[in-house]
Amino acid sequence: MPRRREKGPWFWRGAIALMLTSVFGLFAAAAIHQPPATDPETGCRLDRQDPVHTIVLVDQSDPFNATDLEWVRTLLDGEARSLPRHGRLTLVVPNSASPYDPAQVFTGCSPGSAAESNPIFQNPKMIAAAWERKFHAPLMVQADESLRDTVAPSSPLMEAMYTLADRPDFQAQVPVRRLILVSDLMQHSPGFSMYKSGADVDAWAGSSLADMRAGLEGVEVVARIVPRQEYALPLGDVKAFWRDWFGAAGADYGSVT
């Protein structure tokens, strides 16, 4: 009966090398999936490397009825769900009392959705629950509290956007920046009022606000017009005015809807 060949040193060396490679591979994979440190309050990366920042500026100079509120909730829900992991969403409203200091209602970052999770290293159900508890629910609650039964005597839209363009978390180091303007688009402040001057480019050029320029280079801007029974000016004129204004600000002006 032939003797069984004993495994030589080369076999054991190969086995040990394979084992070590597998172990180091697992550690490397775990390190790749190790999440970066985040702020406990906002869930945003402490290194400020937000992949996306979407700012939603909601102008509520006129009161929102139940339909308007649901319309805004649907918009916010869609924006929240579209964010990638660590993407930031900020909700802001104009401030009539201090036009260059728009009020921040909410800012926070998505912890990631279940669809983005890696089932080998993560639990999709736990990720979905964390997304709802830490990000989506606080956004909706704070939006409801801020927007319900609120009326403002003016709409300093331009002043708010000058300030938003200067936010340190809304600069060119953020790969994707978006500004969504939810409004009837009627600029109304002491600096320039469409109720007094109309959507007149020459009147705007002679106003005090014309000396300033919102630095929105590389920012995608979308205007969502709040449904109204009647508008103070022809919408075509208002849309054309803002198209020129955002173009001068360097924005990537996608649409007015």
Residue 130 CA to residue 126 CA, distance in Å, equals: 6
Q: Per-residue pLDDT for 8 more than 70?
A: no
Q: Per-residue pLDDT for 101 more than 70?
A: yes
Residue 151 CA to residue 76 CA, distance in Å, equals: 20
| Global pTM exceeds 0.85 | no
Cβ neighbours of residue 28 closer than 8 Å, sequence gap 6 or more = none
Per-residue tokens: 47: 């290194």
List, in sequence order, every residue forming a beta bridge with 45; answer none if it has no partner. Answer: 38
Beta-strand relationship, 176-183 and 103-109: unpaired
Per-residue tokens: 133: 């508890």
Percent of the chain with pLDDT over 70: 79
Mean pLDDT throughout 208-217? 91
pLDDT at 227: 75
pLDDT at 174: 97
More confident residue, 52 or 128: 52
More confident residue, 34 or 83: 83
* Dihedral of the alpha carbons of 15, 21, 26, 31, in degrees to the nearest 10: 160
* pLDDT tens digits along 115-146: 555 555 456 678 888 899 999 999 999 999 88
